Every structure is written in structure tokens, then in C-alpha cells.
Structure 1
Amino acid sequence: MKLGLDPAVVRKARDLAARAAEPVIEMARTHTTVSVERAVLRLAGVTGADADGIPWVNRIVDAVRDQVGLEHGVALPFFAAGNWRSLKFGLPTGAERDRALARAREAVGAGIARIDRNRADRDRLLARHGDPEKPWIYLIVATGDIHEDIPQAQAAAREGADVIAVIRSTGQSLLDYVPEGATRQGYAGTYATQENFRLMRAALDEVSGELGRYVRLTNYASGLCMPEIAALAGLERLDMMLNDCMYGIIFRDINPRRTFVDQRFSRQIHARAGIVINTGEDNYLTTADAIDAAHTVVASQLLNERFGHEAGLADRQLGLGHAFEINPQIPDSFRLELAHAQLVRELFPAAPLKYMPPTKHMTGNIFAGYLLDAFFNLAGVMTGQSIILVGMMTEGIHTPWLSDRDLALENVRYVRRAAGDLSEDFTPGPFIRERAARVLSETVDLLHRVADDGLLDAIADGVFGVTKRPADRGRGLDGVVEKADGYVNPATEILEAAP
């Protein structure tokens, strides 16, 4: 540890984060959502859509909610139905309930067993092909057409990318269903579907064998279908998932209660699947000042750590996010960036941190942008970041050209090669140490407030990312249901069982 952080202050910050998180964890334990219940059906093997293109899992959950209510879960009514395509459901009792429960546990157990096999397959492929050195180079490939994404993703891997991120089509986080099949029409991204996951995973396995290193695949398990997409990711062996409900709350106006409930279940799936989550704290700095709001990033990271641990995620799965977003015109901006990055690195030494490139202050001057990305890459190497998202010199102006991507990969490759193990030689001076201590102190003060007032109230007050999101508003609130006595979810039974 290079910053000389006070261990007592660090412990206090974690204690406050745990206290602030506990009421939200309890709410998530005692509630379910339509998407959680749809995820149970997906784990049980329910696939496909009706003639109108509506996924069967949506039709089933909606019918159960209308006819029986979801407070007991979807599993018992579904597995008690003789012909579920009739969409006629009741709540079984007695021996009928016992039979339905046994069938539900068997079907959902088979889905989770498939996730377990995929995790074992990943370990086997990592042993065969090898794991790239850190920091991993993380590159976005998402044209809207999965069949165009595949050759671009393979080409990016050949140019040095270690992680391929297929970001979702604009607006998919607001869809309360997951489209079926391979898709060829998406805007500023490609739809997250099970078939698209399968196709890209197969393509990256192919190029992994060619290159002799395992190439990871990531997508987004956020939005109104967070639990379902998490389940599909486990079923198709994705390696990373953006998984942070705060992003959906703040930037997509998804109801806070809905997303915290969805987040807990989705993270339980990720924990079982061995998936590394990526959190979205970097997004706060696109709307808030990166200096004034630095402590909100750290506070959110500590909250995300607590939520992740409670859901079963190990430290090695906590890809906590932060970003290089200080205005480059400010004196000592690079030193401030180093202070923030080193602070996060030391607070979470075992976490595979995801470091995001500058976007907010990219002006369209491609030469200045290329230089700023190089400084970002250097900061990542100097402070031992784990995952570096490749910055594009035309970031924020248009969807980058392939030539921009090649130049960006060349930039990060050069810095990583030239700097080597510079993190071993980097010794922060008084300026960086004092700045880090100040941010940590401000983090403690904020977590005191959040623990006293409540996290949901803090979100409503705009503490994170400036935007205010009340707990009784936002998309998806009508999909939240309080569990009744006798609620059944075979997936959580398995996921929460003692190892």
C-alpha cells in the first residue's frame, strides 16, 4: 500500500456501507419481480415466443400474476399446469403442490447444472489457451448486426483485445422482455439475446484457439430484464456482465426498488456462473464533476462491494468501475487522476477493477484526444488497473471507424509494453497521498449521511450522478411484488444453499 491510508478510516467506510446497504438487501430478500420470475422459467428451459413474438416467459408470468398473483412465485402454478400453453393457472395445494415443487426443482436444477458445466468449461479453456496478462484490453464491438459483429470481434481479438463487449441496442434496457433469436437490426448496439450470446461465444472460442489466449465476452445485465439476461449469460458462458442497478436508476429512470430486487438475484446467478461483474460508477462523472464527485464514486463502489458479497460474489468477480474524467485544462489534472485511481486500487486490492477512458472532455480534436487516451492508458498501468476500456480519439463524436479502433489498440499496446511493471516503481508523493486521503474522508462523511437517511432517499436526493430518482417513481415499479409466506423459488433455494 503506497498511499498510507488509515486502516481505521477504511474499516469505518466499509462498516457504514454495510449499514447503508442492509435495509435495501432486506427489501430485495423479501420481494420478487416479474423479471426474477421470468428468469426462473428461463433456467427451467422455457424458450421461444408466441405468434406475436411475445416471449413465452412473459406470457406465462403475466397470466400467473393476473390469475393467481406472483407473491408465491411462478414455479408452483407453472409446474402444476397440465398444459401451460393454455395459459390457465392455479395455486396447487397438498400432494399436487408437492409434485409441482419436485418438477420445478428438477427443471431449474438442470439449468443451474448447465451453468456449472459452463464454468468448468471456462476453467478448462483458460488452462488450455492461457489467460492474458493484466491489464486486460476491453474493446466494444456492436454494429447492430450480430453477423457483422462476429468478424469485427475476431479481428479486434487478433489486434490485441482481451475482452469483447457487445453493447446493447439503444433502449433495450427499457424493454420488459428479451427478444428471441439472432438479430440484425440494432441502433448503436446489438440486442442482447440468448442466440446472439451463443453465436458470439462460439466465435470467440474459435479465435481463442487460434491466438492461444482466452478471449472474454461481456454484455449488459442491467435494465428491466437484468435477472433474465444474467441467466442467459450463465447458460451461454459469458465471462463478464455490466451489472449495476444504479446505472439503470440514474440514467434510464428505472424504479429503484425494482432494480435493487432484480440486481440481487442477477448477482446470485453471476456468482454461481463465475462471471465478473462490471459496475457503472464511471457514468456518474459524465453528469457530475470528476473532482467534486470523486467521493461519490468510492462510496458507490463500497456499496456495490457489500451488495456483491451478500449475493455471493467473490472479490475476484467485483469489476468495480471508475473513470479518467477530470478536465485536462485543470492544473495537476494527471496527478489528481493518479490519486483517484490509486485510491480505488488500494481500497479493493483483489478486485478486477474496470478503468474507463476519457469521454466528457473529448472535443473532436483527434490529436489532443489521442494524447489524452495515452495519458489514461499510462495512469492505468501506473496504478495497476485490471481492465482498461480502449479509448477512441473520436469518442463521443460518432461510432468509431475501424481505423480509429486500430489506432486505439496500438496506443494501449504501446503504453502497456513500454511502461511494463511501472506500478512497482510508482511512489506517490504528498500531493497524491493528501488528495486520496481527502477523497476517502469525504466518502466516510457521505456514507454517514446515506446510512442515517437511507440509500433510497440518497438516490432520490441526487447524491449519485446528480439526477434525482425517487423510490416511488420510475419504470417497472408495477412489476415488484412482496413475497408471501410459502413463496417458492427453486433457483434461490439452490443458489443460497450452503456449499
Structure 2
Amino acid sequence: MPARSTPVLDLDPATIRRARSLARKVGRPVVRMAKQHTTVSVERATLRMAGLGGADPDGTPWANRLLDTVRGDVGLEHGVCLPVWDALLRGEAGDLAELAGKASVGSVRFRLPEGRDATRAAAAADKAVGVGLRRIDARRRERERLVKRWGDPEQTPWVYLIVATGDIYEDMPQAQQAARAGADVIAVIRSTGQSLLDFVPEGPTREGYAGTYATQENFRLMRAALDESSKELGRYVRLTNYASGLCMPEIATLAGLERLDMMLNDSMYGILFRDINPVRTFVDQRFSRQVHARAGIIINTGEDNYLTTADAVDAAHTVTVSQLLNECFAKEAGLADWQLGLGHAFEIDPDVPDSFRLELAHALLARQLFPKAPLKWMPPTRHMSGDVFRGYLLDGFFNLAGMLTGQGILLVGMMTEAVVTPWLSDRDLALQNVRYVRNAAGGLAEDFHPAPDGLIARRARRVLAESIDLLERILDHAEPDFGAGLLAAIADGTFGLMRRPADGGRGLDGVVRLAPGYVNPARDLLDGAP
């Protein structure tokens, strides 16, 4: 993403370093916990990486069928790989798909191999998973070649537009038309509730609910459609989907295999807003982010969601803390600065005095804390009342704030937010709004220099100070099972006013503590990635 010249706030570098140091201390026990556990989705993602795809006649993925049988026979404390590749080496089946089919009807039983048998099984698994990782590497190189051939958008922020009808065959022409109208990034939002499914649907889908199902075939179809548009327009059009929920590692793997470019992947969104177990989420997000790092995918985080349930002024520091934690977890997983689409949003009540100046303060704070990250700037939703004229004006101010503060990715706001699912004409008007502001004020950041002791600078310093105070309190708030103050803070409702205890939520039964001798070549190879 091209560099942006941005205004500089008078923030103390030592204070910024302290905030980052505290975030790392808060994150350390969570990372340690993630390394000590696996989940059913991590293990299924490993099978998918090794080439297992498809589903049985009832639509249950073979990865689920095979994993469930292995778990029933020998558990998952040692991982799925040893028993699966041991069975293949013993001649139980010719490949993973055949083995899954036999497992689903009870015609094969699994064991935990020992000695030389275990060594041979681990080596065979390593070879198979390595093939999948090399496919992901090849798709990354393919993206790099296409970006070099067609080029990136000439201006920033990149214009990010949601297209999702439920029917992938309707989504494709709409996405192509959106790209012609100026969209740089197409996001296919998922069908409502998919994050709570503990399996990934198969094949192309033609029906969804407020979105389109995330499947490998849908990924492939949309990527091919946008490649056609990229060639037509002479700029690479990026594709986004959602690696969140109970199948986060699997969807991340499929995204890498099908050359998606961005993925929604927040460390706490599923915990707070989908009531997914915190331990499950942190284990899954570490693996998924390692895959994203390997695949060259930009992650988008979900701090904007906090401000739909908490006040955007009072809770501004929780957004900053979450950004710092997301950065910490992302870098530990191998993501680079250019892959950190850290989220924040234009959600202050417009009736608050100086609301626009406060929005600028929050946006500038994020920009200065993360100068190399392509920050994702989210439009107003909470205070969109149904007055489309007021909404269009708010979106214009949102667009202007994005230009003034050098945001990297701008999600197009719709004036009909809270009224209807946007019509195509709404989308066209919204894109006109973005184009006008970007063309008229795209370079205004060069001339915008807030007064060192003005309201904007004072507000930014206050939010940063409150963020440090919260991080210190989290460190003092140790959780008994894992020693992670962050888990205790989540349980107390610190983020988004949602209380989510570590021993509750969906998916906890899919978390397994590792035993000595656990084998997962995907984790090993990703841990050793450059």
C-alpha cells in the first residue's frame, strides 16, 4: 500500500513504547495458553492442508467425519495426524478421502502408533501437509505477479465495498460492477450464523441469510471473477472474506489456497459478539493468523464492533487496547505491519459537541500508534437513524476524516444503513460520495496539523493514557486457570460491555490440551516460517 503523509500528534515516544510493552505482557500468557492446546478446527485445517476436501451425501465435510472418528477412537491430545497417517501406512485406505469414507461407516479403527510406526506416520504427515503449504506459497507468488502486472489502486485509502446477496452467481456480476464503479476491495460478507457452524459448507451456494456462505468453491468463483475485472480495469481488485467463528483455522486455510487477499480476523470478536469460548478463539486465531502470514493475506480486525454496544467516547481506550493486543498477537503469529488492517470506526454520537474533532483525535491516535499498518476505517452505523440525507452527510464527514488522517482501507458507508439492505442505487451514491471526497481532499493530510495543545491532541493523549491504565489493570487481574489477565477482563465485560467467562461459550468441547508427543506438522512448519 502506498505510503501516506499524515499529521503528527505530539505524543511522547516513551509513552507509546510503554503501551506496547504492556500489551506484550498482557498477551504473553494468552499465547502460552494457545500453544498448549489444539482444537477440532485446527486439526481439521491440517487435514484440509494435506488435501482432504469434499463432503458426504448429507453435506457433512469429510474433514469432520474423519476427525470425529479419530477423536472417538484415540482422542486428540496427540493430534489427528499420527493416527490418520498410521492408518494410511497400514493400508487401511489409499488416500485421505477413502479413509474418511471408511471411517464414516465404521469400517476402520484408529490407533495411536508408537516407536518406528509413529516416526513413519509423522514423516508421512509432514510430507502431505508440506504439499499444501507449498500450494499456499504458490498462490501468494501468483498474487505478487498479478499485482506487479496490473498494479495497485493509484490512491489511498483503498475503497472497500460489501457485496453479498446469498447467491454467489449473483454476487459475481455485482462485485465486478462495483469494481468498475471504483471499489478496490470486495468483501463477501458471510451468511448470518455461519460463524456458529462447526463445519465449513461445501460447493457453490445460492441461498444465504444477509450474506453468502464462505466455501472453498465460492472463494474460487469470486476470485476468478475479480481476476477478470482486474485485467479489464488495469488494477488488482482484492477479495475479502471472514476467518472468524468456530471454523476460523479452516477458512483461513481455504483462503490461502484460493488466493484471497484480506480476511476479517479479530482476536476477540467471536468471543464478545458470538459467545464463542475464549480459549477456543485464542487457539484458533493463532493458527489462522499464522496461515494468513504465510499466505500474504491482510487481516482486518473488529474493534469497530465494540462501539456498537459501548459509547464511542467513554470506551475509546478499549479500542486502542484491542488494537495494541491485536498487533501483539498478529506479530507473534508472524504477520508483518503491512498485513495489519487494524479496525476503528466513526461512531461518536453526532449530537456530542465537537464530535468530528473527537473522531479526528481517535483516528489520528491510531494512525500514529501504527504508522506502517493499513488501518481499516469503518463508517457510522449506530447513529444512522433512517434519515438518508443526514446519513449521507455523516458518511461524507466519515470519508473526510479518513482522508485527513491517512487511513489505509475505507469501508463504504451506506446512507440507508438501519433502513434496508442497500439497493444497487444506494451503493452507487455511496461510491460517488467516496470518489468526490477522495478526489477533492485526498492530499489534505499534508496541510492538516492539529495544534499541539488543541482539543484533538489533548484528547489523543488522554485516550492513550487511559489505555495504559487499562492494560495495567488487566495485568493485575490474573485469571486462575491460565494466569491470563485478559481472560479475566473479558469475563468482566471490559470490551464491548460483553461478559464472556473462560469456561463458557460455544465450542469449548472442541478444545483439547496437548499431551507429550503431540504431532501437527502444520503447526511446526508455520512456527518455523520466516
* TM-score with structure 1 setting the length: 0.99
SS of the aligned residue for 1:139 comes to strand
Specify the SS of the correspondent of 1:404: helix
Q: Which residue of 2 aligns with 1:362?
A: 384
Q: Aligned letter for 2:139? A: N
- Equivalent residue number for residue 114 of structure 2: 93
Which residue number corresponds to residue 436 of structure 1?
460
Q: State the distance in 2 between where 1:442 and 1:94 align.
A: 55
Where in structure 2 are the equivalents of 1:246-265 lying within 5 Å? Answer: 246-265=268-287
Q: Which residue of 2 aligns with 1:385?
A: 407
Whether the aligned pair in 2 keeps the contact of 1:208 and 1:214 (CA below 8 Å) is: yes
The residue aligned with 2:246 is: 224
Rounded to whole Å, the distance in 1 between the matches of 2:475 and 2:137 is 37
Paired with 2:420 and 2:115, the residues of 1 have a C-alpha distance of 61
Say if 2:116 is the partner of 1:116. Answer: no
Match in the other structure for 2:60: 54
CA distance in structure 2 between the partners assigned to 1:401 and 1:469 by the alignment: 36
Q: One-letter code of the match for 1:458?
A: A
The one-letter code matched in structure 2 to 1:276 is I
Alpha-carbon distance in structure 2 between the residues aligned to 1:336 and 1:65:
52
Structure 2 counterpart of 1:138, one-letter code: Y
Matched, 1:285 2:324: no
Residue-by-residue CA offset, 1:10-47 (whole Å, 9 max, x unaligned): 11111111111111100001100000000000000001
Aligned to 1:30: 36
2:513 is the alignment partner of 1:491:
no
The answer as to whether partners of 1:223 and 1:245 remain within 8 angstroms in 2 is: no
Identical-pair percentage: 72
- CA offset at residue 498 of structure 1? 5.4
Q: Is the 8 A contact 2:493 2:500 kept in 1?
A: yes
Alignment-mate amino acid for residue 28 of structure 1: A
- What is the Cα deviation at residue 90 of structure 1? 1.1
Q: 1:406 to 1:498 in 2, by over 3 A?
A: closer
Residue 136 of structure 1: aligned partner: 158
Q: Secondary structure at the match of 1:355?
A: strand
Partners in 2 of 1:218 and 1:63 — Cα distance?
33
* Matched residue type, 2:515: A
Q: How much has 1:190 moved relative to structure 2?
A: 0.2
Letter in 1 for 2:120: R
1:17–1:451 Cα contact (<8 Å) kept: no
Out of 6, 10, 20, the residue aligned to residue 14 of structure 1 is 20
CA distance in 1, matches of 2:115, 2:434: 63
CA–CA distance in 1 between the matches of 2:66 and 2:475?
A: 39
Whether contact under 8 Å (2:161, 2:186) holds in the other structure is: yes
Greater Cα offset, 168-177 or 58-67: 58-67
1:76 shift after superposition = 1.1
User: How far 1:396 moved relative to its partner?
Assistant: 2.1
Report how far residue 494 of structure 1 moved.
Answer: 1.1
Deviations 1:224-255 (A, max 9, x none): 00000000000000000000131111110000
2:441 corresponding residue in structure 1: 419
Q: Which runs of 5+ in 1 are unaligned?
A: none
Whether contact under 8 Å (1:282, 1:323) holds in the other structure is yes
Which runs of structure 2 are paired with 1:7-406 in the superposition (5 Å)? 7-81=13-87, 82-83=92-93, 84=99, 85-87=101-103, 88-132=109-153, 133-406=155-428
SS of the residue corresponding to residue 370 of structure 1 reads helix
Q: CA deviation at 1:99?
A: 2.1
Q: Which secondary structure does the structure 2 equivalent of 1:181 belong to?
A: coil
Find the aligned partners of 2:202 and 2:529 in 1 and give their Cα distance.
35
* Equivalent residues of 1:20, 1:452 under 8 A apart: no
One-letter amino acid of the counterpart of residue 436, structure 1: A
Question: In the alignment, residue 159 of structure 1 is paired with which amino acid?
Answer: A
TM, length-normalised to structure 2: 0.93
Instruction: State whether residues 55 and 62 of structure 2, in contact with CA within 8 Å, keep that contact through their aligned partners in structure 1.
Output: yes
Give 1:65 shift.
1.1
- Residue 300 of structure 1 aligns to a residue whose secondary structure is helix
Give 3-state SS (helix, strand or coil) of 1:245's partner: coil
Q: In structure 2, how many angstroms separate the alpha carbons of the residues matched to 1:120 and 1:17?
A: 33
Range with greater deviation from structure 2 (486-495 or 92-101)? 92-101
SS of residue matched to 2:38: strand
Query: What whole-Å deviation, never above 9, does each CA across 1:420-456 have from its counterpart, x for those lacking one?
Result: 2111111112110000000000000000011221000
Q: State whether residues 140 and 259 of structure 2, in contact with CA within 8 Å, keep that contact through their aligned partners in structure 1.
A: yes
Residue 135 to residue 498, structure 1, CA distance change in 2 (3 Å):
closer
**Shift of the alpha carbon at 1:95?**
2.4
Aligned residue for 2:429, secondary structure, equals: helix
Query: What is residue 504 of structure 2 aligned with on the other side?
Result: 473
* Contact 1:280/1:321 (<8 A) preserved: yes
Asked if structure 1 preserves the Cα contact closer than 8 Å seen for 2:380 and 2:413, the reply is yes
Give the superposition deviation at 1:79. Answer: 1.1
The alignment yields a C-alpha RMSD, in angstroms, of 0.8
Q: Which residue does the alignment assign to 2:471?
A: 447
2:491 counterpart (457, 460, 473): 460
Contact 1:357 1:376 (C-alpha < 8 Å) held by counterparts: yes
Write the letter of the residue equivalent to 1:451: L
Contact (CA 8 Å) 2:30, 2:282: kept in 1 or not?
yes
CA distance in structure 2 between the partners assigned to 1:341 and 1:29 by the alignment: 34
Q: Which consecutive unaligned segments of at least 5 residues does structure 2 have?
A: 1-6, 94-98, 104-108, 478-484
Aligned counterparts of 1:219 and 1:442: Cα–Cα separation in 2: 33
In the alignment, the residues of structure 2 paired with residue 56 and residue 406 of structure 1 have an alpha-carbon distance, to the nearest angstrom, of: 42
The count of corresponding residues between Structure 1 and Structure 2 is 499
Per-residue deviation, 1:128: 0.4
